[in-house]
Structure 1
Amino acid sequence: MADITPAELLQRQKAGESPLILDVREPWEHEEGRIPGAQNIPLNSLPEKLDDLDEWKNQEIIVHCKGGGRATSAKAYLTQQGFTNVRNLEGGFQAYMAAGI
C-alpha cells in the first residue's frame, strides 16, 4: 500500500474520516505532542500488542513516528504479520505538524 502524505491525512481528518493512526513513538514522545485520535503503541511493544490490533488486519492503519524511520519498521513488521493495508505517514509527526500550521 502506498504511503500517505501529511496533507492527505489532514484533509481526510477534516472530512471526518477516522482511520486507525498508530503512533509507534515512545510514550513520553506521545505525551509531548500527538496526532488527534492516534493510538500509542511503541515500536518495541508491537509484538505483544498484535492481538489488540487484530480487528484492523484488513482495514487501513496509518503508522507514524517522529520522522519516519520507526514507522517504516512498524509497517514492514505489520505487513509480515498479515496486515493488508498499512501506510506510513511520510515525514512522520514533524511533517504532520508542519503541514497543519
Structure 2
Amino acid sequence: MRTIFLFLVVLILQTGCSQENKTKMPIVDFKQEMLNNAILVDVRTPEEFSAGHLDNAENINWYDADFSDRFNTVDKNKTIYLYCKMGGRSAKAQEKLKSLGFTNVVNLEGGYDAVKANN
C-alpha cells in the first residue's frame, strides 16, 4: 500500500512539473524542429528584429497597438513560441495571448540575448 501511495505522489509531482515546462523553456533549448505545428514569434521592435533574430521567426511588435489583432487568424490550439530580448516582453505577451484564449503559449526564457551569448 505504501508503495502505491509513493508511486501516486511521484506521478502527481511529475505531471505538475511537466505542465510548468510547457509554458516556459530556456530559449537555448528551442529547436527549429519544434515548429512542425507551431509558430515562432519575436515580440521585439522591428529595429531589434532586423539586427538579428531566430530563423523562421515572425516579428509581431509587443508595443504595436494591433498586437492582439495580429493573432486573429492563428488557431487558438496551435503552439506559439514567444521570445524577446531578455524575456520580459515575451512573458507579458504570453499572458495577453492566454487571456485571449490561446492554450499553448510557450515563453522562451532568456530571450535573444541568451542566444547571442551561447554562440
Output the TM-score relative to the length of structure 1.
0.83
Q: Could you say which structure has the greater relative contact order, defined with CA pairs below 8 angstroms and 6 or more residues apart? A: 1
> Using the alignment, how far apart are the partners of 2:99 and 2:90 within structure 1?
14
Picking from 28, 33, 45, the partner of 2:52 is: 33
Decide which structure has greater strand share.
2
**In the comparison of the two structures, how many residue pairs are matched?**
94
List alignment gaps of at least 5 residues for structure 1: none
Match for residue 2 of structure 1? 23
Greater shift in the superposed pair: 29-38 or 43-52: 43-52
Percent of counterpart pairs with the same letter? 34
1:51 aligns with 2:68: no
Output the TM-score relative to the length of structure 2.
0.72
Picking from 24, 31, 34, the partner of 1:17 is: 34
